[in-house]
Chain A
Amino acid sequence: DIQMTQSPSSLSASVGDRVTITCRASQSISSYLNWYQQKPGKAPKLLIYAASSLLSGVPSRFSGSGSGTDFTLTISSLQPEDFATYYCQQSYSTPQTFGQGTKLEIK
């Protein structure tokens, strides 16, 4: 199985901050990397697919980059509604796997 390792596991930041979350795959997954946001009690929401493609309707302050084994999710200017848990997922091969999550909290 391909292991996905996210860092950090948790992060405290303020409204307006620029935040970066990283995700590393245990082997190359090309660009088959997706990012999700999950708020408490809600289903996850897809933000970015194929490493850098923003899903329609997702604010442009979210961006993704990377290929191969190293990927990043960047939020350019944190908004109050962005405080949530973020997960990366590789969809290159089965079993698809998620990172352990990054909980983004208000400082």
Chain B
Amino acid sequence: EVQLVQSGAEVKKPGESVKMSCKGSGYSFTSYWIGWVRQMPGKGLEWMGIIYPGDSDTRYSPSFQGQVTISADKSISTAYLQWSSLKASDTAMYYCARQGGFGESWYGMDVWGQGTTVTVSS
């Protein structure tokens, strides 16, 4: 079965760091992109960025560039999303999703993780 399994919920204080994970299984992890999507409480979906684990090619949305770091360890089929200094406004659900690519365009996000909630509160 093709699946992405995300790490558990995080509760943090402003200024703290966090690194969440997304582990792929059931497919060739290095042959698909992994994208990250934010959903703030009661709001829509926001595309954050994407990484190709095969060569770590990474693209960020300008809205998130410099705010988060996306990385991957292909040896353990895991992608990561991390913050060095959280803000209350980072409170949200974060999803990872698999996406096929073709040149500089991509197909749909066909497999999603279950989501990781991050709560940032003093």
Residues of chain A at interface, number, CB under 8 A: 27
Q: Is the interface of A mostly helix, strand, loop or mixed?
A: loop
Give the number of residues in B that approach A within 8 Å (Cβ atoms).
27
CB closest residue in chain B, given A34: B108
Q: Are A34 and B109 in contact (CB under 8 A)?
A: yes
B63: Cβ under 8 A from any A Cβ: yes
Q: Are B112 and A43 within 8 A (Cβ)?
A: yes
Bound form: Cα–Cα A43–B45 in Å: 10
Docked-complex contact B107 and A100, CB < 8 angstroms? no
CB pair B113–A98 under 8 Å, yes or no, is: no
A55–B47 CB distance below 8 A: no
Is there contact, CB below 8 Å, between B45 and A98?
yes
The segment from A18-26, A45-53, A68-76 found at the interface with B is A45-53
Let me know if A55 and B108 touch, CB within 8 A. Answer: yes
Q: B10 in the interface, Cβ–Cβ < 8 Å? A: no
Residue of A nearest to B95 (CB): A43
Closest A residue to B35 by beta carbon equals A96
A51 to B49 Cα, complex, angstroms: 22
Hey, which chain A residues are within 8 Å of B61, CB to CB? 1, 94-96
Query: In the complex, what distance in Å separates the CA atom of A50 from the CA atom of B49?
Result: 20
Among A46, A92, A95, A99, chain B packs the most CB atoms within 10 A around the CB of: A95
In chain B between 49 and 70, which residues have their CB closer than 8 angstroms to a CB of chain A?
49-50, 59-63
* In contact, A44 and B44 (Cβ under 8 angstroms): no
- 12 residue pairs bridging A and B, Cβ less than 8 Å apart: A1-B61, A1-B62, A32-B105, A36-B45, A43-B114, A43-B115, A44-B95, A48-B108, A49-B110, A87-B44, A93-B105, A95-B60
Contacts beyond the supplied A44-B37, A55-B110, A98-B46: 11 A-B pairs with Cβ under 8 Å: A34-B107, A34-B108, A44-B109, A44-B112, A46-B110, A48-B108, A94-B50, A95-B60, A95-B62, A95-B63, A98-B37
